[in-house]
Amino acid sequence: MRQRHEFHVDSVRYLDEHGHPLDDLPSQASDTERVLAAYRNMVLTRTFDAKAIALQRTGKCGTYPSALGHEVIGTAIGQALAASDVFVPYYRDQATHLLRGVTLQEMLLYWGGDERGSAWQACPQDLPVAVPIATQCCHAVGVASAFRIRGEARAVLCCVGDGGTSKGDFLESLNLAGAWHLPVVFVAINNQWAISTPRRLQTGAETIAQKAIGAGLPGHVVDGNDYFASVDVLDAALARAHAGKGATLIEAVTYRLGDHTTADDATRYRDAEELRRAWDRDGVKRLRLWLHDQGLWNADLEQQWQAECKERVEQAVNAYLATEPEPATAMLDSLFETLPAALAGQRERLASRSGGGES
Amino acid sequence: MRQRHEFHVDSVRYLDEHGHPLDDLPSQASDTERVLAAYRNMVLTRTFDAKAIALQRTGKCGTYPSALGHEVIGTAIGQALAASDVFVPYYRDQATHLLRGVTLQEMLLYWGGDERGSAWQACPQDLPVAVPIATQCCHAVGVASAFRIRGEARAVLCCVGDGGTSKGDFLESLNLAGAWHLPVVFVAINNQWAISTPRRLQTGAETIAQKAIGAGLPGHVVDGNDYFASVDVLDAALARAHAGKGATLIEAVTYRLGDHTTADDATRYRDAEELRRAWDRDGVKRLRLWLHDQGLWNADLEQQWQAECKERVEQAVNAYLATEPEPATAMLDSLFETLPAALAGQRERLASRSGGGES
Amino acid sequence: MSGPDLRAVTLVEAVNLALHWEMAHDENVVVLGEDIATNGGVFRATVGLKEAFGYKRVMDTPLAENLIAGTAIGMATQGLRPVAEFQFMGFIYAGMEQIVSHAARMRNRTRGRLHCPLVYRAPFGGGIHAPEHHSESTEALFAHIPGLRVVIPSSPQRAYGLLLAAIRNPDPVLFLEPKRIYRAVTQQVDNNGEALPLDTCFTLREGEDVTLITWGACVLETLQAADRLAAQGITCEVIDVATVSPLDRDTLLCSVAKTGRAVIVHEACRNGGVGAEVAASIAEGAFLDLQAPVVRVTGYDTVMPYYRNEQAYLPQVGDIVEAVEQVIAL
Amino acid sequence: MSGPDLRAVTLVEAVNLALHWEMAHDENVVVLGEDIATNGGVFRATVGLKEAFGYKRVMDTPLAENLIAGTAIGMATQGLRPVAEFQFMGFIYAGMEQIVSHAARMRNRTRGRLHCPLVYRAPFGGGIHAPEHHSESTEALFAHIPGLRVVIPSSPQRAYGLLLAAIRNPDPVLFLEPKRIYRAVTQQVDNNGEALPLDTCFTLREGEDVTLITWGACVLETLQAADRLAAQGITCEVIDVATVSPLDRDTLLCSVAKTGRAVIVHEACRNGGVGAEVAASIAEGAFLDLQAPVVRVTGYDTVMPYYRNEQAYLPQVGDIVEAVEQVIAL
Ligand SMILES: Cc1ncc(C[n+]2csc(CCOP(=O)(O)OP(=O)(O)O)c2C)c(N)n1
Ligand SMILES: Cc1ncc(C[n+]2csc(CCOP(=O)(O)OP(=O)(O)O)c2C)c(N)n1
Ligand SMILES: [Mg+2]
Ligand SMILES: [Mg+2]
């Protein structure tokens, strides 16, 4: 006697590669201000990104992970989140951070090797960048649990890369989100690569979204280069979380248009032709074309905004470069709320050495 | 534009609670010798189990995890595996171990606090009992990888509890099995409880089998108290693995009829009525009824076999109780192939103390 | 309340008492782990909490230590004070990445913006005839992690007072409970919500001839050894380190300045155990005071044997006595 | 072959050379990890292996360190000799349960029936301007684990010879590669498949006045300090511990018996570092020889700062010189 249990995930797209609607657009498309703000954030992110890479190349910044190709989904996430929600990022979420109020200078400090780059003023409850892959997923369910325990109608949104979806942290957290009906949205940013490892080597599953099924959660694939599809799916998932209806997994399909980080050389393992085709699907261009078609944007506006972005980034870079490093004693001062007596001697030693450099 | 991606798992049953076929039985049912051997192994397991608990209660054995309720699926696994396959157990697989050739005495030694209980003679490649939950799943994919690398048509079968399916090790390994098309069968023994934690608190998923979907693998639910359903699904999954067609996840639904271990008292958290209903679904009884119906078994045969089981267990217990503990130096002698010089002094010290007891 | 609420309790009951007190007095305290709610914990440490404070604050988790460790971190960043249980220390390793890379670092990483006021509890140590992995004493792994406190009570009173301190501490604490003495002795505990100081050794017994330094269950054998030695006219100062990291070196050095000799006792294996740090610190800091080498009485450098041979592994009273006699002879 | 195959290589190239040699000579050797096949490893340690030995033996894994650690164990039990890479030591913690509870115990658990001839490789240590978690030196966590060897090369020749020994060793080895000196120097390596001994310190320089004990990248600064001190007339014996566990105490004690003084240098934070075990062992074993306390020059007891301040954390040549002057002055 055989019985069948059926499951599904859906996938969503609204715009084709030329910015032409494939379908009726969702209601968010009529919110012109939101769409324009989104586009502007994408361009700002891209401008910042190029500059950070340039700084690294000239020795003025550390290893930096480019967000090229992540601007659309990152922006959609930033817009979908309420200020009172908590964002749990991985390390390629610059577009979202900007909308949360993280400053360009803070981002530069962080990648420039200064811990103060995570002391975000504008979004003090957001979690900092998580370097150990997927570990942040567990924090996300913890934050969501805190909201549920306190009866707060707040939600958590957690990003993780396609590579990260292979790691236990993600899978365990997804499972808890389902078991506990937590107000959390997981966004798996599937940019097709985990450093040199292509998506197909991460999992035999056809989609990443279907990993939701094993946790009893709804899963959606969305074109992460399609702004309207992204906001539509994100808004719905966050509404669900806010309403106490539980968690969602969204797979946002995009492409890592740059190297993994400035320490990487993707030409070693990646086909030039594949990269070229990915540029055809670039979501920033796609939204710009749509805005042009709507008469909401033009070359002049583009030029003005690009100039403004450059100016803002330039200012942030100057402020960043003018920032003195912390004193060496800082390495002990935030370790505990109060320095334990056992460490007093070490702090004295640090304090007594000028900057702690070579003697 | 929405698209749907569909998935399913199936569930399989052949016998009702009274041992009456619900459907045409699979071909394995006509292999009378196999079925009788299966039934005998179930009874032997149950006899051993009761004795081990009794030994623990009288201080002659350590904490012991009863296999009560696991005899059918465990036996089906033991029969489905080829001798050249590798079995990767968790800690409640006594029925399977017996069919692999592990001796009753070895099992007693192990639970009696003696490492020699894992030095199995009959199945030297099988992995030992894994106490840290789900960790063995990673070993299973490693063993399966070794077979694939060497081009051997051998398979691996790995057991894990329902509780264990929440742990990253299981989920990561399932994913690798899918990504690498490994010759491995995972059997999630869903006995409804993980110590005091009911199945519904482990996951929001309707079935455990559907966790296969996220790894791109076929998943099956099987009634683990239904011998015919179990062998049918297991034989098919192992045939698939032997043929190089990849991995399978099987959820074997059963019930832990005893306490979690002898250190546990399930009445604290478990409803007596639930337990009573579970006994109605006992698979050993079910197979016995079927055998009776076929004229293959009767009260006399039952009595004879029970007596033989008792006798075998008694002999093993005597041998076990007569086994001297290892000398204290044994704690160093199997740590490395050759004792490093750094440990020579410690070994001397152990050797110089009689038995290493209180001085 | 009228008069002190004195109770004769075991160590594990003291843990339970402290949890009850703190959950009643701070609604941010929540408890999570495997089998801790309905079942009250496999050692009964959390019994009654679910009934008193509800399932929202007392949570049975799915079986995943990494998840437990990380979920507690997420909760802690939002102002809760989670107390998460690892059912046995032998199962803590899956949570290691979360503990090392996040719990211990969140405050430093964010320069104080977020922090992790959480407690990880775990029963630890051998001697209870348990199966493999149920007898771990790997406190040294955690003592080496900056940003983490490792606290080990060795009596009901210290279990009560130190656990309260750990929960109230604004930074992460690994609280290791010596399960061999969970029920070994009963002590009067005043259930008054008063914490004991962290980062401080407790001098359990004063003496002149040698300083015995220990923690956890070995405190029992060490005190017994001190008794035996007293009968021989050797007086031992016995120190329970209690917070094995950060280490209260001052108390240890002061004592050795007086006695000139130190014997360290721990159950964990010797190589790289916390005893190494204690010995190194004394050998460096009390170099001129020492009349004999600092000696360690410890477990062997091997996996804790299954229970038939576990006593051969564990430090015995006789071993401690012998070590003291040795250093006194010098 | 005709004549020695001498090559001037860096440490990381020596690792690559050893992997090539052993894969060519033992078909049971397989290599797995993140980005190690097609990309040749983020530090290029495995470059060329996939091309030479095929994807079957050189495997890019999904991103999961626990899985990598455990898969290698499964392979090893079946007679393969896996060499698994953790991309950075900062990401090893997720694999901790597999390493501690299985790799290190399989032989003991099964009384020799199964064993784990595997190598876990990981680049470790700071000083390369990397982001957080890319600068770990937590060798002490693993040195405390019975059943596990922890081996750290500090030159191209030792990287070559010790890695061959590690792969051929029938038991699990954690092979930590000091990435700060991956390309610091070039050395002639004879690519002849000859292993160097494990469990043995290497005396890099003989001296009379003080023994400097170190390992990994700090060997560089320690040798520089020895040079500076030589100019002041102080001769240092410099020992590269190389196998930090099990520890070759004999070599250390012999040296200290001669010099009467020891300074230990390591990059890991001090509290509970391997230096503690070394210091404790010397303080105990060479008590009567010591003319000064054993001093440790180490990182601070904190998280490695992000790179703007990492030099302030790392032991510098001047720190070592200062410590030696101190112990000499006593
Ligand atoms: C636990 C862990 N392992 C390894 C690394 C090294 N590493 C950094 S990024 C990366 C790939 C991540 O890929 P993915 O999750 O797809 O994110 P993407 O970089 O593509 O955005 C790896 C392996 C890490 N940071 N953490
Ligand atoms: C990693 C780990 N965590 C916790 C435990 C303690 N423990 C032993 S059995 C068990 C429950 C396991 O339940 P399940 O996987 O369903 O198997 P079952 O015992 O029901 O057969 C727990 C929590 C353990 N052995 N390993
Ligand atoms: Mg990716
Ligand atoms: Mg179960």
pLDDT in tens, chain C (330 residues): 578 999 999 999 999 999 999 999 999 999 999 999 999 999 999 999 999 999 999 999 999 999 999 999 999 999 999 999 999 999 999 999 999 999 999 999 999 999 999 999 999 999 999 999 999 999 999 999 999 999 999 999 999 999 999 999 999 999 999 999 999 999 999 999 999 999 999 999 999 999 999 999 999 999 999 999 999 999 999 999 999 999 999 999 999 999 999 999 999 999 999 999 999 999 999 999 999 999 999 999 999 999 999 999 999 999 999 999 999 998
Residue A209 has pLDDT above 60, yes or no: yes
Inter-residue contact D283 to D191 (CB < 8 Å): no
d(Cα C115, Cα D270) in Å, to the nearest integer?
24
**Position A284: which residue type?**
V
d(Cα A308, Cα A302) in Å, to the nearest integer?
10
Residues of C within 8 A of B128 (CB-CB) are: none
Low-confidence ranges of chain B (pLDDT < 70): 354-359
Q: Tell me whether residues D271 and C277 touch, CB distance under 8 A.
A: yes
User: Which residues of A are the active-site residues?
Assistant: 256, 260, 269
- The average pLDDT across A264-269 equals 96
- pLDDT band (50, 70, 90) for residue D86: very high
- Does D96 contact chain C (CB < 8 Å)? yes
- The average pLDDT across D212-218 equals 98
Cβ neighbours of residue A256 under 8 Å, at least 6 residues apart? A66, A68, A69, A70, A191, A192, A193, A266
**d(CA B111, nearest CA chain D) in Å:** 13
Residues of B within 8 A of C58 (CB-CB) are: none
Strand boundaries in A239-338, DSSP class E = 248-253
User: Ligand 2: which atom is nearest the Cα of residue B91?
Assistant: 21
CA B110, distance to chain mean position in Å, is: 15
Nearest to C10 by CA among C177, C183, C181: C183
Residue of D nearest to B87 (CA): D74
Q: What string of H, E and C letters represents the secondary structure of chain C?
A: CCCCCEEEECHHHHHHHHHHHHHHHCCCEEEEECCCCCCCCCCCCCCCHHHHHCCCCEEECCCCHHHHHHHHHHHHHCCCEEEEECCCHHHCHHHHHHHHHHHCCHHHHCCCCCCCCCEEEEEECCCCCCCCCCCCCCHHHHHCCCCCEEECCCCHHHHHHHHHHHHHCCCCEEEEEEHHHCCCCCEEEECCCCCCCCCCCEEEECCCCEEEEECCCHHHHHHHHHHHHHHCCCCEEEEECCEEECCCHHHHHHHHHHHCCEEEEEEEECCCCHHHHHHHHHHHHCCCCCCCCCEEEEECCCCCCCHHHHHHHCCCHHHHHHHHHHHHHC
Give whole-number Cα distances, A306 to A300, B161, C277, in Å: 10, 57, 58
Q: How deeply is A166 buried, as exposed, middle or buried, from its count of CB atoms within 10 A (0-12, 13-18, 19+)? A: buried
Domains and CATH numbers, chain B: 10-325 (3.40.50.970), 326-359 (no CATH)
pLDDT score, position B359: 37
- Does C300 contact chain B (CB < 8 Å)? yes
B91 part of the active site: no
Q: Which residues pair with C29 in a beta bridge?
A: C81
d(Cα C262, Cα C295) in Å, to the nearest integer?
7
d(Cα C123, Cα C108) in Å, to the nearest integer?
28
- pLDDT band (50, 70, 90) for residue A47: very high
Tens-digit pLDDT profile for residues C164-223: 999 999 999 999 999 999 999 999 999 999 999 999 999 999 999 999 999 999 999 999
d(Cα A260, Cα A297) in Å, to the nearest integer?
32
* Residue A131 beta carbon below 6 angstroms from any ligand 1 atom: yes
* Residue A132 beta carbon below 6 angstroms from any ligand 1 atom: yes
CATH of C202-329, one of 3.40.1280.10, 3.40.930.10, 3.90.1300.10, 3.40.50.920: 3.40.50.920
d(Cα B189, Cα B209) in Å, to the nearest integer?
11
Residues of C within 8 A of D97 (CB-CB) are: 91, 93-94, 96
pLDDT score, position A354: 58
User: Ligand 2: which atom is nearest the Cα of residue B160?
Assistant: 15
Here the tokens at position C40 are 């009250």
Give whole-number Cα distances, A24 to A20, A21, A223, A266, B175, in Å: 11, 7, 16, 38, 37
Nearest to B349 by CA among D234, C299, C142, D308: C299
Residue A358 has pLDDT above 50, yes or no: no
d(Cα C145, Cα C166) in Å, to the nearest integer?
17
HSE, CB side, 13 Å, CA atoms: give it for residue A54: 9
Q: Which residues pair with D119 in a beta bridge?
A: D83, D173
B57 part of the active site: no
pLDDT score, position B200: 97
Nearest to A30 by CA among A224, A230, A294, A302: A294
Inter-residue contact D16 to D47 (CB < 8 Å): yes
Tens-digit pLDDT profile for residues A73-129: 999 999 999 999 999 999 999 999 999 999 999 999 999 999 999 999 999 999 999
Q: What is the DSSP letter of A25?
A: P
Tell me if D6-190 shares its fold with D202-329. Answer: yes
Inter-residue contact D104 to D158 (CB < 8 Å): no
pLDDT score, position A154: 98
- Does B119 contact chain C (CB < 8 Å)? no
> What are the sequence ranges of the domains in chain C?
6-190, 202-329
Cβ neighbours of residue B212 under 8 Å, at least 6 residues apart? A214, B9, B174, B218, B219, B248, B249
pLDDT score, position A1: 80
Inter-residue contact D243 to D291 (CB < 8 Å): no
pTM of the predicted structure, to 2 decimals: 0.98
* B204-208, D2-6, D172-176, range with the lowest pLDDT: D2-6
- Does A167 contact chain C (CB < 8 Å)? no
d(Cα A78, Cα C178) in Å, to the nearest integer?
48
Ligand lying closest to the C-alpha of residue A195: 1
What's the CATH number for C6-190? 3.40.50.970
Inter-residue contact B215 to A205 (CB < 8 Å): yes
- pLDDT band (50, 70, 90) for residue A304: very high
d(Cα A146, Cα C117) in Å, to the nearest integer?
14
pLDDT score, position D3: 85
pLDDT score, position B1: 80
- The average pLDDT across A282-295 equals 97
Residue D231 has pLDDT above 90, yes or no: yes
pLDDT score, position A127: 98
Report the mean per-residue pLDDT for chain A: 97
Please tell me whether residue B113 adopts helix, strand or coil conformation.
coil
- The average pLDDT across A285-303 equals 97
Residue A356 has pLDDT above 60, yes or no: no
d(Cα B137, Cα B160) in Å, to the nearest integer?
8
Nearest to A280 by CA among A269, A289, A270, A293: A289
* Residue A69 beta carbon below 6 angstroms from any ligand 1 atom: no
Cβ neighbours of residue A13 under 8 Å, at least 6 residues apart? A22, A23, A222, A223, A226, A229, B1
Strands B193-194 and B197-198: antiparallel
The backbone torsions φ and ψ at residue C258, rounded to the nearest 5 degrees and listed phi first, read: -80, -45
**Position C310: which residue type?**
E
d(Cα B6, Cα A18) in Å, to the nearest integer?
29
Nearest to B117 by CA among B42, B198, B61: B61
Nearest CB among D269, D290, D292 relative to C146 is that of D269
